[in-house]
């Protein structure tokens, strides 16, 4: 059992590690629905020492329930995918994660299901006589679907292997809420990442929120739009911060910190739109090219991760990226983004960027020790093409963060927003900078950062 801790507290301190289990654990690409369960989820147990040593406090597991192919084509919300194991295997894994003081978030895929979903299968067998004919969006008999069915229906973004649910049907909503209740009671999960949240009727998010918001952190996948439309007191706690995701990597590719600075000020500055939200920050995930494949210079991973762990929001690492592993979509396939990985000891022997792991470990440790980085305010101090500095302030603690993407040391001169006599570098121990008349000149190492506590 997890120690008692309020949701607000664990989220404020959270460092996420995102695992896509079907790929990570080496599951077959297709489910034959006949084979006995194979306990591949146990592979994650061998990673827990590594995650704990790194400083991870929460694990986001991608789809784990029975599906046809990639997990987002659900077949059964109540049984773990046989390619990963069974319900006892998931329970055993979550208990092991909780025993280490970490939290667990599962993927909630409620916009659509797979064509093998039991109710859609009944519809395919029984047609207009099916008791589940009203469970699916846009269903029209007398027309033919691209899959050859004697009816048409709405597929997610034109993908007819993903059948959109009719969330206007109370029976459908109840089936999903019952599944969430089962996950909370049976597996004692701590949160849900909600797939395709912008495609779901907001009324369902309000119903889900009323049902479990106090028991379960709710974070929606949102790519475009005003995040407050979903992250608000009536709906979700948080959403994916795709705006900052894009700015973090492209600011380094273009040598243009003005892009990420603009986004952070727009979101979290003195008139920021999202000052009261803990948005979910990331630099790659199961849907986008690995960040090591996005950058022209691998050394830019160091200032990039320095930003990820010091800006407002909840930071997340995608599995394997702590070693600089690359991966790009190929011929429309996401498989290169979602590989099987052996145990960490084996990866370390051939890691593309072995020093990155220790750098991330240091950044996580600094974030853990400085409350201002966890939940402090944000104030922009300096922006140049390859240098960027900002302040984080919480209670009586003030922290200055300065990053340098150039291949040479760079001076950054700033006016302190809060009184202090010197700055102490928590990221590079032993380095200090004196304050003169409220101003300070900071020499920032190449492709790196300083995290400075104001004294």
The answer to whether residue 44 is domain-embedded is: yes
How much is the CA Rg of the chain, to the nearest whole Å? 23
Cα–Cα distance for residue pair 179/196, rounded to 1 Å: 18
CATH of the domain at 66: 3.20.20.80
The answer to whether residue 1 is domain-embedded is: no
Considering 314, 343, 372, which residue would you say is the last residue of a domain? 372
What pTM was computed for the model?
0.97
| Same domain for 251 and 141 | no
| Same domain for 321 and 240 | yes
Which pLDDT value is given to residue 7?
60
| Same domain for 115 and 97 | no
pLDDT along the chain (455 residues), means of 10: 57 96 98 98 98 98 98 98 98 98 98 98 97 98 96 95 98 98 98 98 98 96 98 98 98 98 98 97 98 98 98 98 97 96 95 96 98 97 98 95 98 94 97 96 98 97
Alpha-carbon separation of residue 346 from 97, 110, 281, 317, 330 (angstroms): 22, 37, 28, 19, 26
Which pLDDT value is given to residue 394?
95
What is the count of structural domains for the chain?
3
Domain range for 354: 7-110+170-372
| Same domain for 221 and 279 | yes
Considering 345, 372, 399, which residue would you say is the last residue of a domain? 372
CA 360 to chain centre: 16
* Cβ proximity of 75 and 177 under 8 Å: no
Indicate the SS3 state at residue 450.
strand
The answer to whether residue 241 is domain-embedded is: yes
| Same domain for 368 and 285 | yes
| Same domain for 384 and 337 | no
Cα–Cα distance for residue pair 220/246, rounded to 1 Å: 17
The first and second tokens of residue 40, run together, are 């591949």
Cα–Cα distance for residue pair 163/269, rounded to 1 Å: 41
Give the max Cα distance, the chain: 81
Which pLDDT value is given to residue 4?
45
Number of helices (H), then strands (E), in the chain: 15, 21
Which pLDDT value is given to residue 9?
78
Cα–Cα distance for residue pair 94/56, rounded to 1 Å: 15
For residue 268, give every residue at least 6 positions away whose Cβ sits within 8 Å of its Cβ, in sequence order, or none.
274, 275, 311, 312, 377, 378
| Same domain for 381 and 364 | no
| Same domain for 395 and 250 | no
The first and second tokens of residue 444, run together, are 């920032």
The answer to whether residue 333 is domain-embedded is: yes
* Cβ proximity of 402 and 388 under 8 Å: yes
| Same domain for 193 and 56 | yes
Query: What single-letter DSSP state applies at residue 32?
Result: -
Query: Which residue has 């003169």 as its token pair?
Result: 436
| Same domain for 226 and 93 | yes
Which pLDDT value is given to residue 270?
96
| Same domain for 228 and 82 | yes
CATH of the domain at 446: 2.60.40.1180
Nearest to 256, CA basis, from 384, 105, 423, 404 = 384
Query: What single-letter DSSP state applies at residue 186?
Result: I
CATH of the domain at 141: 3.90.400.10
Considering 353, 372, 391, which residue would you say is the last residue of a domain? 372
The answer to whether residue 2 is domain-embedded is: no
Nearest to 325, CA basis, from 314, 336, 316 = 336
């Amino acid at each position: 059992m997890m120690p008692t801790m309020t949701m607000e507290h664990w989220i404020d301190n959270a460092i996420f590690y995102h695992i896509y289990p079907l790929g990570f654990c080496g599951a077959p690409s297709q489910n034959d629905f006949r084979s006995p369960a194979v306990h591949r989820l146990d592979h994650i147990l061998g990673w827990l020492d590594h995650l704990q040593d790194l400083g991870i406090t929460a694990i986001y597991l991608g789809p784990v329930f029975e599906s046809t192919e990639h997990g987002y084509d659900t077949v059964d919300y109540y049984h773990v995918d046989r390619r990963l194991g069974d319900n006892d295997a998931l329970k055993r894994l979550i208990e092991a994660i909780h025993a280490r003081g970490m939290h667990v978030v599962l993927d909630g895929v409620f916009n659509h299901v797979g064509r093998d979903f039991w109710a859609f299968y009944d519809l395919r067998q029984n047609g207009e006589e099916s008791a589940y004919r009203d469970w699916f969006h846009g269903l029209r008999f007398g027309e033919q679907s691209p899959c050859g069915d004697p009816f048409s229906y709405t597929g997610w973004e034109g993908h007819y292997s993903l059948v959109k649910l009719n969330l206007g049907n109370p029976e459908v909503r109840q089936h999903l809420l019952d599944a969430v209740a089962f996950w909370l009671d049976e597996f004692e999960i701590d949160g849900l990442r909600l797939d395709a949240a912008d495609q779901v009727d907001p009324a369902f998010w309000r119903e889900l929120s009323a049902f479990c918001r106090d028991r379960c952190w709710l974070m929606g996948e949102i790519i475009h739009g005003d995040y407050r439309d979903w992250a608000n007191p009536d709906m979700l706690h948080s959403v994916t911060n795709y705006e900052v995701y894009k700015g973090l990597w492209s600011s380094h590719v273009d040598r243009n910190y003005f892009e990420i600075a603009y986004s952070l000020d727009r979101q979290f500055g003195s008139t920021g739109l999202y000052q009261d939200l803990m948005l979910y920050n990331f630099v790659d995930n199961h849907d986008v090219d690995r960040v090591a494949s996005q950058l022209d210079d691998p050394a830019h991973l160091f200032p990039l991760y320095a930003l990820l762990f010091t800006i407002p929001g909840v930071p997340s690492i995608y599995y394997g990226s702590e070693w600089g592993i690359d991966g790009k979509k190929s011929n429309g396939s996401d498989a290169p983004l979602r590989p099987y990985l052996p145990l960490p000891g084996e990866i370390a022997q051939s890691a593309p960027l072995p020093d990155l792991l220790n750098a991330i470990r240091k950044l996580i440790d600094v974030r853990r020790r400085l409350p201002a980085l966890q939940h402090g305010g944000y104030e922009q101090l300096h922006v140049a093409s390859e240098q960027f500095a900002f302040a984080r302030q919480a209670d009586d603690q003030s922290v200055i963060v300065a990053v340098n993407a150039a291949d040479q040391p760079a001076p950054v001169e700033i006016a302190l927003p809060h009184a202090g006599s010197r700055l102490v570098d928590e990221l590079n121990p032993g380095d200090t900078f004196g304050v003169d008349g409220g101003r300070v000149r900071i020499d920032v190492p190449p492709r790196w950062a300083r995290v400075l506590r104001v004294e």
